[in-house]
Every structure is written in structure tokens, then in C-alpha cells.
Structure 1
Amino acid sequence: MTRDVLALRHVPFEDLGLLAPLLGARDYRTSYLDVPIEPITPEAALRPDLLVVLGGPVGVYEDDAYPFLRAEKEAVRARVRAGLPTLGVCLGAQLVATALGADVVATGRTEIGYAPLTLTDEGCRSVLAPLDGVPVLHWHGDEFAVPEGADRLAHTPGFPNQAFGAGPHVLGLQFHLEADHARIEQWLVGHAHELATAGIDPGRVRADAAAHGPRLAEAAVRVFERWLDEIPQPSR
């Protein structure tokens, strides 16, 4: 049975990446909605079998500067309140956390590059277990609180909340499992100003992508496969 996945995209190069072929192999029909320029409604967010909310270089609290966020937050809120399968990545995870009533704040610091996570006890028992000891791609400065009733799954020294799960339907990841290390140059160019502002050498990120990317890709595939296996299947 063909199923539909809708990906809410904020910048072109932060797309489904490694997740796209996995979805195709499971007969998901994928479409993108570029949220800054295309209208998003609660009805549209409720329609697909799976909603993926991708990353982007803005903050969920910047409604005045980026008014599209108001409609996006309303749509994501309708989705998670309906208990429908939803994956949030970086900004997407922050939008999901906000929809579930949690705070998201600017930290005044950045975490960019490849570094390992520490899984919580719940994280070790979760779909994230394959990430134990594996450097993942971080690219954020904001931080979400774990929503009430959700499980805190991972942390790093600078960011105590890196992932949460809210039942089998909802997974929020502050880091980028979906990013294809073979396409890291798009990230380095697209976020060149942020890298320069943070004093981060793009050559180091490039080298780490080559060193850690293949192992991370294998672990990411296992995580996504496990989560897709666990989310409830549609009855329609």
C-alpha cells in the first residue's frame, strides 16, 4: 500500500537526505512543501501518513521576523495533538517541542560539527541505540525543553536535551541524522556566514564528514528503519 510523506522544508539543501531512499523502499510517496514560500495549513499537516519537519537557520520564536512560522506552528500543533506520526529534525524538533508545550530558547552558543551523543537510559532502549559512540552532525544554537510526558533520549555536554520521544508517533532530534556526508559542501556554503561568525573552520567540518560520515550513515539508516518499523501503520 502506497503511503504519503510530507516534508516541511525551510532551505533547499536541508532535505530528507539519507531518509529519502528508505521511504521510497517502503512505498512512501514523498512530497516537499517549502514553508517560507508555500502556505501550510493544519489540514495539510493532518493529511499525510508521515510528516517530517526539517531543519533551518531560524528560531521558532522569530515570528515577527519570519511570519510563516505562525502558520507552521499551528499546523504542527494540529498534527501532534492528533497523535499522528511526526519526525522533527533540528528546527523541526523545536517546532514539535513547541507544539507539545515545551519552551525553546536561544542559548547564545553554537554546537556545529561532528561529535558523539550520550544516550540516556531511555535512549539506550530506544530506536537511537545504534548511535551509541557514533559522532553525529550537530548544527544548532537553540535548545528545546523536553515536552511533558516525553522521554529525554540523549544529551551532550553543552546541550542537555538532544532528542525526545513522545510515544511511538513522535520523535524529535536536535542533530542531523538525515544529512548525507557526501553533500556536506552544500551545508558549508549554505551556512558560510554562520560558520564564519562562530569561528568554525569549514575544512575541519569537511574532514570530519569524510572521517565519520560513512559510519554515521550506517547508524542513521538503522535508527530510521527502527522508527519506521515502530510507528503505527495507517488503517486507511
Structure 2
Amino acid sequence: MVLTHVDSEPAGVYGRLLAERGWRVEEVRVASYTDPRPPVSLRGVDALVVMGGPGTVSGLHPGNSGECRLIEEAVLRGIPYWGVCLGAQLLAAATGGACVRGDGPEVGHVPVALTAAGHGDPVLAEWAAVFGGEDGCPTVMAWHSDTFRLPAHAELLAGSARYPHAFRVGSSAYGIQFHLEVTAALARQWLADVSYRQAAEHSLGADRVAAFLAEHERRQAGLEHQARVLMGTWLERVTADLTAAASG
């Protein structure tokens, strides 16, 4: 199941990869992450993917968010989870951490370094081995203002110079702050939105926005390749676990 919050932040490459791998993708639009009612039931759900959205969730109280309670239930039941940007922040809040306001927007193509836990993680380590280059730090696209504080039992896996960017709760719940699923067309759509563009101008400077978009167009194929390797590795583990559970 894929939860989205706005038309402008679809599953993108991740959604296409799920379909290509033979997953039946049910997409559900969440009207508001502050709605106290859970947006869906987890009955029959083998994996949960939660995408991003605009606005701020800093200070969100998980007890007042049906979506957070749904995510908490998924983690407690061992349902594999893949959260992107807002989806990562909600995972942190739902499992004992918090969504918090950052010290300013982070927009651009930034290197992310793996932590010691990241180098030992079966999903992140393979991705970094393929795309890390000489310094071992893959370059990703970031576009966010909020960030997260991790629960005590989570493993921080990667971060940029400014923010944490990837973590794991348990064995199969991943929060990914950065964007690999965003095409150049979607980036142009974001820049046409006042709030998205303001974040970009605040982070990059108004005179650098066009250069950022040109760089994203140049990097698009490589970012899609990263998305396929990163999520693909997670899906292989998820599929193997589901197969083992079915046969056991």
C-alpha cells in the first residue's frame, strides 16, 4: 500500500518499481496527517510506503495523528515500511522520536555519508557501494525544511553535513529523508509552487534555482538508477521474508 498526501509528491520511480516487481499497488490519499482517524486498515497489507508532502509537521503529537498510529501499528506488526521525506519524519514520530523544525531548508544535490550502522545495513551498504564514488558518499537530491529526532532504538544510517537522512527501526522499517524518485518534470512543478520555490530560494539563493534545475535534469537518470537499487534491495529482503513466512 502507498500513502500519498498531495498530487505533487507521488511515489514516482518507487511506484513504478513496485509494479514492475509484481506488487499490487493500492494508493490511498491521506487527507491530513493530523486527522485522528487512521486513514486505512492494514488488513491484507504486506508493505507500507508513505510519501512526502508540503508544510510543516514539527511539533506533531503522534497521539493526535491517525496516520502515526497506523505507522506505529505497522512497525509493531513487522510490516515492512518505506517512508520518504514526510514519511520518514512520521516514522520517527510514530516510534518514539519526533518531527522537528530544521535550522533552515536544505534544497539541492548533496552528498550523504553512511554511519557505522549504515555500513553494516544490508540495504544502505549495497547502495553506497554502487554509488558512493571514491569518498563512499552518494549524491542525492534534498528538498525539506523539517527533520526528525530518532527514537532511542532506531539506527541512524546516513546523513548530509546538515541533517540526518536515513534510519532504520527494527529490521525492515526505513525512513529516507532525501528524494531519488523526483523527475526533472516534477522538480519544475515544485518550483512553480510558491512554498516550494521559497524553500529553494532560501536554501540556494534566488540566482541559483535555474542552475539547480539544470543539474537535476542532468542527474535524473542517475538518481532513478539509485532509487531502483536502494528500494530494490529493500524489496528483495521484504520478498524473501514474506516467502519464508509463507513457507514456514
TM-score range, shorter chain: 0.7 to 0.9
- Alignment check: 8 A CA contact 1:134 1:215 kept: no
Aligned residues: 227
Match status 1:207 vs 2:207 = no
Extract unaligned runs of 5+ from structure 1: 1-5
- 2:74 maps to 1:79: yes
Structure 2 regions of 5+ residues with no counterpart?
none
Q: Decide which of 144, 152, 155 is 1:151's aligned counterpart.
A: 155
Which residue identity does 2:172 align to in structure 1? H
Cα displacement string for residues 4-52 of structure 1 (whole angstroms, at most 9, x for unaligned residues): xx21111112111111221112211112211126986276245421111
1:51 aligned to which of 48, 51, 59: 48
- Whose helix proportion is higher, 1 or 2? 2
CA contact (8 A) 1:9 1:15 kept: yes
Q: Residues of 2 paired with 1:37 and 1:163: CA distance?
A: 24
- For 1:194, the aligned partner's letter is A
Map of 1:21 onto structure 2: 16
Partners in 1 of 2:212 and 2:39 — Cα distance?
37
Aligned-partner SS, 1:55: coil
Decide whether the 8 Å contact of 2:5 with 2:31 is kept in 1.
yes
Whether the 8 Å contact between 1:118 and 1:155 is mirrored in structure 2 is yes
2:237 matched to 1:233? no
Counterpart CA distance in 2 for 1:7 and 1:205 is: 29
Q: Determine if contact 2:57/2:99 at 8 Å carries over to the other structure.
A: yes
Q: Which of 179, 182, 193 is residue 179 of structure 1 equivalent to?
A: 182
Instruction: Please give the secondary structure, in 2, of the residue aligned with 1:113.
Output: strand
Structure 1 position 145, deviation (Å):
1.8
Question: Which of 109, 115, 120 pairs up with 1:120?
Answer: 115
**TM-score, length-scaled by structure 1:** 0.85
Q: Counterparts of 1:37 and 1:120 in 2: how far apart (Å)?
A: 33
The Cα RMSD (Å) is 2.5
| Partner SS for 2:230 | helix
Contact 1:46-1:78 within 8 A present in 2 as well: no
Residue 167 of structure 1 and its aligned partner are, at CA, apart by 2.9
Instruction: Report the equivalent of 2:145.
Output: 141
CA pair 80-134 structure 1, distance change in 2 beyond 3 A: same
